[in-house]
């Protein structure tokens, strides 16, 4: 939240708390959306006329699934990049300085980079099934 400085000698770098939390949880939220929407589209699409729509060789369901994947992937990638940026900003040149190590926000940004990367990977893997069901459920 609006964290106050821990290491007092350092100049306090402002990071908006929304940015900070998004950097940690953005990937996770994107993944959640990806799974729920993918499931919803499949559950709904596979019993509706949507599955029979054929557009450039792909069913309506497949198109929607691809759209969902691209959108959520974009969110996950954005969160990873933001986490990376926050981490660089907070650490600055003094990567090893003790005050940086004591700042919980550095830890959050660091986790954000790792979590974001993992969730990007998971979303990509989770999109693999779409390739097997391009024309039908």
CA angle (98 as vertex; 95, 99 as ends), nearest 5: 95
CA distance 34 to 111: 21
Among 16, 32, 52, 95, binds another protein (CB under 8 A): 32
Tell me phi and psi for residue 97, to 5 degrees. -65, 145
Q: How many CB atoms lie within 10 A of CB 96?
A: 8
Q: Is 54 in the site for another protein (CB under 8 A)?
A: no
**3-state DSSP call for residue 65?**
helix
CB of 137 to another protein, least distance (A): 4
Among 4, 11, 49, 56, binds another protein (CB under 8 A): 4
CB of 97 to another protein, least distance (A): 14
Q: Is 125 in the site for another protein (CB under 8 A)?
A: yes
Q: Is 75 in the site for another protein (CB under 8 A)?
A: no
CA distances from 41 to 51, 119, 132 (A): 10, 20, 16
Among 22, 26, 61, 77, binds another protein (CB under 8 A): 61
Q: Is 111 in the site for another protein (CB under 8 A)?
A: yes
Among 23, 73, 86, 103, binds another protein (CB under 8 A): 103
């Amino acid at each position: 939240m609006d964290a106050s400085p821990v290491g007092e000698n350092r100049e306090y770098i402002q990071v908006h708390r929304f940015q900070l939390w998004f950097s940690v949880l953005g990937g996770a939220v994107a993944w959640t959306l990806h799974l729920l929407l993918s499931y919803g589209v499949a559950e709904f699409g596979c019993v509706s006329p949507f599955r029979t729509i054929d557009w450039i060789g792909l069913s309506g369901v497949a198109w929607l699934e691809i759209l969902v994947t691209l959108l959520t992937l974009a969110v996950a990638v954005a969160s990873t990049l933001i986490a990376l940026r926050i981490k660089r900003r907070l650490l600055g040149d003094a990567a090893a300085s003790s005050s940086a190590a004591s700042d919980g926000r550095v830890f959050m940004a660091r986790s954000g980079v790792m979590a974001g990367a993992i969730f990007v990977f998971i979303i990509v893997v989770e999109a693999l099934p779409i390739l097997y069901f391009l024309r039908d459920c």
